[in-house]
């Protein structure tokens, strides 16, 4: 059966999930892991509807109806979600001459 429906890229879908469900996951990584069959959210999995060719490669695209259904089902299982949170940044002092791989900070430094 042919369907005509709005679809979103994985990056756009991750943003939609972040806005709707909050920061309970790193949604871009979570979507990639769901595609690989490695994870779920409350035993729920969101899979792409199609692959769409961008300028360089075939990329997954998610149907709006599937995104909406996933959000509703996750919200039913986790009713205490903190949705619509703005990004939760922290002011941290760090040395920009040191690689991020070796620069580990346990607690936020106070800003003077």
Which carries the bigger pLDDT value, residue 62 or residue 94?
62
State the pLDDT at residue 111: 47
Instruction: Specify whether the CB–CB gap between 19 and 13 falls below 8 A.
Output: no
- CA separation for the pair 20, 15 (Å, rounded): 9
Between CA 15 and CA 10 the distance in angstroms is 9
Q: Is residue 20 within 8 Å of 6, Cβ to Cβ? A: no
State whether residue 51 is helix, strand or coil: strand
Summarize pLDDT for 10-51 with one digit per residue, the tens: 999 999 999 899 888 999 999 999 999 999 999 999 999 999
Between 44 and 54, the higher pLDDT residue: 44
The C-alpha atoms of residue 75 and residue 105 are separated, in whole angstroms, by 33
């Amino acid at each position: 059966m042919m369907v005509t429906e709005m679809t979103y890229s994985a990056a756009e879908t991750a943003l939609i999930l972040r806005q709707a469900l909050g920061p309970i996951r790193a949604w871009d990584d979570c979507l990639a892991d769901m595609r690989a069959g490695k994870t779920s959210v409350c035993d729920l999995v969101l899979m792409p509807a199609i692959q769409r060719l961008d300028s360089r490669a075939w990329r997954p695209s998610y149907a709006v109806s599937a995104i909406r259904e996933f959000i509703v089902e996750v919200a039913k299982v986790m009713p205490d979600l903190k949705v619509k949170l703005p990004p939760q940044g922290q002011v941290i002092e760090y040395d920009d001459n040191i690689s991020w791989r070796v620069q580990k900070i346990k607690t936020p430094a106070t800003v003077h």
